[in-house]
Amino acid sequence: TETELQAFYTDRNAVFAQPERRRISVLSYTPEDFVDKVEISEADLKSEYDRRIREFSGPETRVFTQLTSADQNKLQTVVDAVKLGETIEAAAAKVPGLELVTLTVKPADLTDVQYSGYVFSLPVNEMAGPVKVGETWFGVQVKTITPGEAQSFESVKDQLRSQMAL
């Protein structure tokens, strides 16, 4: 009856005042949770270290000969002569008005980022140029590359293992 229903509701009013409850369970995981389950041999780690040694090394040092001139054509004459087998010094001596210097630098030593990238992308003994930086034309020939000091394999082995496992 209506009276019994009202009495039931009144007796249990506190139960009806509480919000409905729900439960959810979530399982979440990331690749890092499984890193320890991946087995990587010592030989594979060493091979990867050797392949990526530049990542684990300090900045390299380059010795390069730099030609500068305000005249692109004069510089191009020297670049062409060097590419035909002449030494950069001998070719530069035949063309007046060029400045020839030998520099020893690390990447941070060159203030122009584009020029630094240019110099540090060249292989040894390749003559390159002319390239314009500001109002001056440059020609470059890398003489030697000395790699930066590398971190030991043992010091980066755990980091390398984790990266390879991921």
pLDDT tens string for the chain (166 positions)?
Answer: 999 999 988 888 877 777 777 888 888 888 888 877 888 899 999 999 999 988 888 899 999 999 999 999 999 999 999 999 999 999 999 999 999 999 999 998 998 888 998 899 999 999 998 999 888 999 999 999 998 898 999 999 989 988 888 8
Mention every residue, 6+ apart, whose C-beta is less than 8 A from residue 39: none
At residue 143, the 3 state secondary structure works out as strand
Query: Given this model, what pLDDT does residue 38 score?
Result: 83
Please give the model's pTM, rounded to 2 decimal places: 0.63
Alpha helices in 84-138 (DSSP H): 88-93, 113-119
Those residues with Cβ within 8 angstroms of residue 95's Cβ, 6 or more apart along the chain or in another chain: 74, 77, 78
